[in-house]
Chains A and B, each alone.
Chain A
Amino acid sequence: MDNEHEQQPAVEPKPQPGFWESRTGWSRLKQLLLLEPLPGGSRWTAAFGSLLLFAFTLQVITGILLTTCYAPSVETAWPSVKYIQEEVPLGGFIRALHHWGSSAMVILLLFHLIQVFVWGAYKKPREFTWMVGVLLLFCVLGLSFTGYLLPWDQKAYWATKVGLGIASTTPVIGDSIRSLLQGGPQMGNLTLTRFFTIHAFILPGLIIFLIVVHLYLFRLHGITPSWWESGAQLEAKQEPFWPRQAWKDGVFALVFLLGLGVWCYYQPAPLEAQADPSQPYEARPEWYFMFLFQLLRYFEGPYEIVGTFVLPTLFFLLLLFWPFLDRNPQLKPRKRPLALGLLSGGTIGLIGLTIYAIATDVRMREPAIAVVQPPVPTEPAGLLQRADVAKLYNANCAACHGVDGSGSQIRQGMPTIPDFTSLTWQMSQTDLEITHRIQDGNEPLMPAYRNKLGERQILALSIYTRAFAVGSGEALPPKPVPPPPGPVTAQMSPVQIYRAYCLACHDADGRGNTVRKAMPDMSDFTDPKWQASRKDEELLHSILEGKGKFMLPMKDKMGKADAEKMVAYVRAFQEGKQVVKLEPQPPVVPPAPEQPAIIPGPKTPSGPSPETAARMRVAASLYRQYCLICHGADGRGLELKASMPTIQDFTSRTWQEGVGNPQLAVSILDGKGTLMPAFRGRVGEEQAQDLVAYVRAFGPFRPATSEPPPGDFEKRFRELQDQWRELQRQLQELSAPPRKP
């Protein structure tokens, strides 16, 4: 600005500085950065340095992008990188750019170094430019080392472990260095956070600072002339950075970017299984550290430190102070045999060692790649406690199956989810089936846990699953069993079906008189007019889909074929030709196939006398015949709740406590309200008492008189209990610490 002010009063009024210019003075910045003359002019060989700058910028950009989804901690580092890799749009590509970009930087640095070495660009007065460059090289190697750990996969973990081990061989301060880097006595969360800080903040910051110094020094001394050019030639070719050198740099950058992009498109960055210190692994460093790795093989025992510390340090020092060691002022390569001999020897040695190391490297076992092969499940060693199993369940299963195992919270969206508290379900599953389900899942809903959990854990979970239905301390008290899904009438004859589902309302004679008071629309099957007014299809539809307020849809209980049979059965009532035989005559054993439809809810107290047992069986069958259709298999009356809002929930404590036994018996015999029919005549007084006991058994407390429902059920229940004990014993055996007597 000062200049411009001074020039203002001059003869010709200069054009007023524009809006931006007067506020930022950017043209001076442009002058400084872009228009300063470069001695020797633009050249392709100078583009290597800019390319490095470009590659670094790319690393910074992709690094920042990765950081938006990366969470450095032992639990989250690997999952978040996997998430980037697999879930985030373009995540895999950005990660590949960052991963392969870091390798590319190392290669570019090597090129750059060789180039300036051959040109003798480190010679007086450019010693410091070289030294800053060497520092930059080591900072980038530091970035690679720290970045390598961040994905926290097996190779990251083990390579870093070895790397830290190498650092700790530094004389005197080795252990301190390791502790400082590690952030604690072991590799873990603090290692990750520290490495991340170093990787994403400290080293990039330092590098940017060093780059500024590097470039400043470079501009200060100008480009080193090629040895075949004279001073006069250089003068003549002088031109500004902009636009020719920028063009050359740009072309290089474009080629580099396209090459890297194509490479990354086809070659995703590897991600191995999540780090697991208990899994054996053959640690390997990134390829550009392989020469060091190889070097270590030549120094054993007390000489190891030569490979881990002495040689690398000497190498670093030699490189750093090289400009002061090589006093030869000549630029022509022919006149610098020693220097170039060292360079070629060093380079060939380095590359040779790297290739040799990679070629002869035999791994006993292939590393597990995360994308292809998920992590090997890990199991805590030692005792598997009940609490651990509960934790496992809560962590893996409860999201869908609920902490109570009922799966009720998501049944709406996932109708096929089983109810572990249902004995019907429990009985339909063998232990093997349950374990198999957990291991292999049932896509797409039930995930496979084969790779997430160990065998012992899966076995434990299958036992835990059992526990929801069979008395266990933790699981909720078992609930009454809802009717199972799917047609349950498959093997029932029409009479049985009629008894089970229709008789309660339509009566044994098909007239439906008992409930007509409450349900005035009740059809009379014996009425020829009614029969004539209904087509078979209509009847079929009503049976399957329900009709009006009270007729429940049966489609979840029977298939179409059964429903057709029932239509015929209904037709047969015409003119009173058919009467269903009632069957409350004790003792009635229910037909076996009916079993799964209506496993009565109440659970058993111990030790019923054979006589009570028989009576309860009768009560169960009565309930099934007359009550179940409205009150439900579980006594809650859910299905008809909508049309009969006053229906009671037998499982409710309040209701159970608020009503006395005689009152219940009266309701059963004489009906209640408009909807509950009177059952006197179909149910004897004593049977009514038994039904009261049966209804009581739905409640939260279990009266001593209540009794296990039909025999088969009881047997299965016992079996299940035995199985449970056996499994528990197995579990104990599995988890028992080896005890020596």
Chain B
Amino acid sequence: MSEANDHRRRFMTYCTEILLAGLSLLVAIPAIGYLLAPLWKREGAEAGFIDMGRLADLPIGEWRLLALEMVHQDGWKKAKFRHSLWVRRKAASDQEVTVLSPICPHLGCPINWHPDRSQFVSPCHGGVFDAEGRYIAGPPPRSMDPIEFQVRAGRLLVRWQEFKIGVAQRVPVST
């Protein structure tokens, strides 16, 4: 092969490589943009308060796991989701209510209340919290997460919120 030929060949190779790279990019950019859609999505509206029922129906001084049902946009459909919350009424007054998320701040297992030990225990890796949800022992990095609530018209209203798990700070996760 002559020198000139060789040169042309190398130039051709170079051009072709650029062409094919450009072609792949043209296909890849929209494709990746589409795949990354979940990262683009603006934050959903802040969840409102959800009625959990009459406060008076709760026994005083006992932890109860209450279920709440909320509706959010799930892809192409509005869907109902059920979550649960630990709720305790300390005294007859409206304000003395504690609402805790049952999601373990370690890795997200559902935390159980052990009335005999008066402790919350996470069943997965043995995280232990006291009767106020404060961290006592085990791997969880922080205490149980309190949930915002209101008492209106004698009814308990809560605003469901999830928090980042595995970290010491309490960082809300946008829904």
Contact = CB atoms under 8 A, between A and B. Distances in A.
A690 interface: no
B94 A641 contact: yes
Nearest to B30: A90
Nearest to B22: A254
A152 to B, nearest CB: 12
A251 B19 contact: yes
Nearest to B14: A243
A260 to B, nearest CB: 11
Given A89-B37, A253-B23, A246 B76 contact: no
Interface in B1-51: 9, 12-13, 15-17, 19-20, 22-23, 26-27, 30-31, 33-35, 37, 40, 45-46, 48-51
B154 to A, nearest CB: 6
A76 B31 contact: no
A76 B76 contact: yes
Contacts of A69: 75
Contact of A409 (B13, B19, B48, B76): B48
A246 B20 contact: yes
A590 interface: no
Given A242-B13, A409-B49, A94 B76 contact: no
A408 B20 contact: no
Which DSSP category, helix, strand, loop or mixed, fits chain A's interface?
helix
Nearest to A75: B77
Given A242-B13, A244-B12, A654-B56, A58 B27 contact: yes
Interface in A240-281: 242-244, 246-247, 250-251, 253-254, 257, 261
Given A638-B152, A649-B154, A76 B77 contact: yes
A65 B34 contact: yes
B78 interface: yes
Given A408-B51, A636-B153, A61 B27 contact: yes
Given A79-B77, A83-B76, A89 B51 contact: no
Interface string B39-81: 0100001101111000010000000000000010001111000
B16 A247 contact: yes
B93 interface: yes
B154 A636 contact: yes
Given A250-B23, A649-B154, 5 more contacts: A71-B76, A90-B33, A246-B20, A253-B23, A651-B154
A406 to B, nearest CB: 9
Contacts of B35: 65, 68
Interface residues of A, number: 47
B75 A83 contact: yes
Interface residues of B, number: 38
B9 A243 contact: yes
Contacts of A645: 93-94
Interface in B83-132: 93-94
Contacts of B20: 246, 250
Contact of B30 (A82, A83, A93, A246): A93
Contacts of A681: none
Nearest to B18: A250
Nearest to B52: A409
Contacts of A378: none
- The 3 A-B pairs at the shortest CB distance, nearest first, are namely A83-B76, A243-B16, A79-B76
A179 interface: no
Interface string A87-118: 11111011001000000000000000000000
A412 interface: yes
A399 B71 contact: yes
Interface in A646-691: 649, 651-652, 654
Nearest to A70: B76
B19 A254 contact: yes
A413 interface: yes
Contacts of A261: 26
A402 interface: yes
Contacts of B13: 242-243
B20 to A, nearest CB: 5
Nearest to A638: B153
Contacts of A65: 31, 34-35
A247 B94 CA distance: 77
Contacts of A636: 153-154
A402 B48 CA distance: 13
Contacts of B27: 58, 61, 257
Contacts of B9: 243
Nearest to A57: B27
Given A641-B94, A652-B56, A246 B16 contact: yes
A253 B20 CA distance: 9
Contacts of A76: 76-77
A513 interface: no
Contacts of B46: 413
Nearest to B11: A243
A61 B31 contact: yes
A409 B34 contact: no
Nearest to B50: A409
